[in-house]
Chains A and B, each alone.
Chain A
Amino acid sequence: MTAELHEELTDPHAEQLDHGGASSQPLKSRISEPQPRGAKIRGNRPVDQSEAANRFMAATEHEAMHDARLWDLRQKRDKEMHGIEEWEELRDLASGIKEHTLSKLDYYLELFEKNATANGIKVHWAKDGAEHNAIVLEILRSKGVELLIKSKSMLTEECGFREFMAHNNVEVIETDLGERIQQLDDEAPSHVVVPAVHKLRTDVASVFAKTIGSDPDNADARYLTECQREATRPLILSAQAGMTGGNFVVAETGTFVVCTNEGNADLSANTPPLHIASIGIEKLIPGLNELPVFIRLLSRSALGSPITQYTSHFRGPREGGEMHVVLVDNGRSERLGMEKFWPGLKCIRCGACMNTCPVFRRSGGLSYGATYAGPIGLIIDPTFNVHKYRNLPYSSTMNGSCTNVCPVKINIHEQIADWRKTLAGEGEISPVKKVMMKAAGEVLASPMVYRASLPLGRSALRHLPHFMLYNKLNTWGRKRDVPETPKQTFNEWYRKNRKSQVEGEKS
């Protein structure tokens, strides 16, 4: 096989953005369009993703930048994939290793605890977010910590960690640039790898102007980064504790691995004497031999770069310091027991499914109103709250591209279909959908009723059949022309023109 298989990839019409694989520079913008905000959260009411997506798309400059930026990552990923002959084999391996580890998770967790403890790491167990937050707070209080620096972690987002710490008078500083932008804007990350990808540079300029006093009219990326560095570096240097997540937890060595491009995890872990790592229990892998499979897949899938700038192995506390690992369940054990949905636990949070998802690219990650956005979010979020996230599995065309790019081969689009079945089965389906489908099922089961429902010939009903319009919301015609109804259906044509065959069939 040659390095570049698909002629489409060398298409001269294809636009390639000119910037480094790991950077997240938005496209040039001249006018300052206000940043669209995410889904409206109303307690436990089902999140309306399409409402937020419509607002995102109405901000045309944001939508165009977001779509182009993430599609660019998808293309870079494709190029990297074509450079690795054994790519599909690697995906099989990665999936198999994760499946194996998850099937013996109790064994590997205990093995890790034993080996990590021998390395001088203190291992803690948290059954949910609240327990996690309490454990971390206790560690911090025991050391009198008031200022904590941390690197990006989706798990701490699950746990509502920053909010909890704010209530307990611990100041938290995010060290990942994108995450810091989101923190200063009091907004959740919109993407697992590029958390501020939905923002234009002008949005960042406006956030920084309000929070760290930069020039509101200067949206130069270099200037903004420098301002942030100047404002944050002193805080980082004076922090008494650092926190990281963990991409991979190695059972046989009792160590864990953190992958970043900014080196910010190393900053968080190595600057202060106290390092706390919060890690989901699904991050286990058996040994170091398995690690390279994932390292080769992770950054290629995420950003289309061969490897993250930093792949740091944490083996134990430095002299005079302390290292803690908090292993968090937060619904994972329960998910592991779900016959159809356990494969979601194989996820290594690369975000490739988001980058390839045509719905995500046009909606923005915050439209999902949940910790996890995009295709992986559609299948994980309902495990946290089935009612609140019951609409999310419908925010997909089920085109299946997510499944194809997933480095650990999670059958994402099949699980989306399975969630729809599960939700409908549990009565967690919107009344409009339910009524419409019940009507459609009745009509389509009876040839006579079906034929009578069609929008025929020159009748006034030149639109979709009645069963598609049951909710009286003819959304089809809002931005699309409705197909014209021909003079006769195929069925009528056949009866007229192939009379003998029809009669033959009946006899």
Chain B
Amino acid sequence: MKVGLFIPCYVDMFHPETGIATLELLERFGMSVEYPVDQTCCGQPMTNTGCEREAAKTEELFVRNFEKYDYIVTPSGSCTNQVRNNMTAIDQTDAVKHVRSRTYELVEFLHDVLKVDAFPWAEFPHRVALHNNCNTLRNLRIASMTERREEPFSKPKALLKMVKGIEFTDLTRPDECCGFGGTFSVFEEGVSAKMGQDKVTDQLKSGAEYVTSSDSSCMMHQEGCARRMGANLKYIHIAQILNGARA
């Protein structure tokens, strides 16, 4: 199985350790993983702002980079949602359709495709609050949602439960958006920051030492708020915990 690794722009720039953990984790499961070095972005900033035409060339580049792989895996549900559900600025050729249907968020890939049942190397003896990105939650349906009447499930939690020593804390508003929202965080800075502060407060109150998520983007925003607030919370991508990070 040939896997193409997509490392979103902000992970590449700010959290290379998340990219490294994703790569190593996939390799631990015997995947042959390649990272096409000419990749940039999935096109989400432009699409989210309504500027579909401006996203076209970036989408074309994405497809050129990834069309040769059986699966494309990325440590971001938000970018996966863009590729799978919103990559519509370009002609829907067979290559485009292949890329769109074969792109997986890391947790989904481990849970649904590889059906992983153990992470023997992983141990994380800490109190952890789990954050689900809204695209990952409501569009990829990585977990059940409190506002819907459905059987409760959580793919990230199912994976994390296999990590030795981990303890979960409960948020009062587990599905509340943290206010990142892509370009929303820049264009609507005031509300975005307030939502982020409220999220951090909820995480603190839950007694968490760490926050983890399968999306770095939300955590980058939350961490920025937490630091400014002087909150004693650490943010770590789920790939790192599953890959055996020891805090």
Contact = CB atoms under 8 A, between A and B. Distances in A.
Given A398-B181, A480-B221, A447 B39 contact: yes
Main secondary structure of the interface of A (DSSP, over half): helix
A207 interface: no
B43 interface: yes
B16 A505 contact: no
B188 A394 contact: yes
B170 interface: yes
A422 B12 CA distance: 32
A445 B151 CA distance: 42
A445 B40 contact: yes
Interface string B20-53: 1001000000000011111111010110111111
Interface in A1-46: 1, 5-9, 11, 13-15
B232 to A, nearest CB: 14
Interface stretch (B100-108, B113-121, B158-166, B172-180): B172-180
Interface stretch (A331-339, A342-350, A355-363): A355-363
A5 B170 contact: no
Contacts of A450: 9, 40-41
A440 interface: yes
A437 B57 contact: no
Interface centre among A57, A87, A481 (most CB of B within 10 A): A481
B51 A397 contact: no
B211 to A, nearest CB: 15
Contacts, number: 259
B122 interface: no
Interface stretch (A103-111, A165-173, A483-491): A483-491
B181 A397 contact: yes
Interface in A71-103: 71, 74, 78, 81-82, 84-85, 87-88
B11 interface: yes
Contacts of B58: 441, 444-445
B192 to A, nearest CB: 8
B64 to A, nearest CB: 10
A424 B147 contact: no
A243 B34 CA distance: 69
A395 B221 CA distance: 18
Contacts of B77: none
Given A88-B148, A437-B46, A444 B40 contact: yes
B223 A483 contact: yes
**Interface size class for chain B?**
35 or more
Contacts of A359: 188, 191, 195
A74 to B, nearest CB: 8
Interface string A283-325: 0000000000000000000000000000000000000000000
Given A82-B149, A399-B181, A479-B225, A454 B191 contact: no
A502 interface: yes
A271 interface: no
A417 interface: yes
B193 interface: yes
Interface string A396-440: 111111011100000001000101111111000100011011101
A498 interface: yes
Contacts of B61: 444-447
B45 A437 contact: yes
B224 interface: yes
B135 to A, nearest CB: 8
Given A465-B13, A494-B35, A505-B37, A438 B187 contact: no
B37 A485 contact: no
Interface in A447-495: 447, 450, 454-455, 465, 468, 473, 475-476, 478-486, 488-495
Interface of B: 7, 9, 11-20, 23, 34-41, 43, 45-46, 48-58, 60-61, 86, 134-135, 137-139, 144-152, 170-177, 179-198, 205-206, 220-221, 223-225, 227-228
Given A8-B170, A397-B192, A489-B12, 13 more contacts: A13-B172, A50-B191, A359-B191, A396-B184, A438-B51, A443-B40, A444-B57, A444-B58, A483-B220, A490-B35, A493-B20, A494-B23, A498-B35
Interface of A: 1, 5-9, 11, 13-15, 50, 53-54, 57, 63, 67, 71, 74, 78, 81-82, 84-85, 87-88, 356, 358-359, 362-363, 393-401, 403-405, 413, 417, 419-425, 429, 433-434, 436-438, 440-447, 450, 454-455, 465, 468, 473, 475-476, 478-486, 488-495, 498, 501-502, 505
22 contacts: A6-B152, A50-B187, A57-B194, A359-B191, A362-B195, A394-B184, A398-B48, A399-B181, A400-B135, A401-B147, A413-B138, A420-B50, A441-B53, A441-B55, A445-B58, A450-B9, A479-B193, A479-B228, A481-B224, A486-B16, A493-B16, A494-B37
Q: 10 closest pairs, A vs B, by CB?
A: A420-B50, A397-B181, A480-B224, A441-B54, A445-B57, A490-B19, A399-B134, A479-B193, A475-B189, A400-B138
